[in-house]
Amino acid sequence: MVPVSDEDLLRLDAGHFLDQFDKGTLTVAALPSQVVQQIEDENIKGLSLRAIIFMALESQLRERAQLLDQEKRSGRSRGPLHGVPVVLKVT
């Protein structure tokens, strides 16, 4: 599994993640630590955006990601965005 580069996480669309999941070159479980690191680098440190005010614990994200991968392997899907990382902005 090749990890997604930090820079890519900011610019990739859902289709890219889904394509990589389908090809088997990326798993949902490979994403949580990278997502958390990207949020720390851009939201808290670096640019100090402070745009994300709440996020699940990394351990919870990893646990959920493993479950989503397991479901995908067994042929179950929660929908078209199964496993794609999402950030919601509420104004």
Judge contact between 4 and 29, C-beta under 8 A.
no
**Does pTM surpass 0.85?**
no
Read off the pLDDT of each residue in 36-43 and give the average, rounded to a whole number. 79
What is the predicted pLDDT for the residue at 10? 62
29 found inside a domain: yes
13 found inside a domain: yes
81 found inside a domain: no
Q: Return the amino acid letter for 3.
A: P
Whether 32 shows a pLDDT value over 70: the answer reads yes
What is the predicted pLDDT for the residue at 3? 55
pLDDT tens track for 61-91:
999 999 999 999 999 999 999 999 887 766 6
79 found inside a domain: no
86 found inside a domain: no
Q: Which domain holds residue 33?
A: 6-73
The Cα 32–Cα 37 span in angstroms is 8
20 found inside a domain: yes
90 found inside a domain: no
63 found inside a domain: yes
Judge contact between 28 and 72, C-beta under 8 A.
yes
Judge contact between 73 and 29, C-beta under 8 A.
no
pLDDT tens track for 5-23:
555 676 788 898 899 898 9
Q: Give the total number of structural domains in the chain.
A: 1
Rounded (5°) CA angle 23-87-55? 110
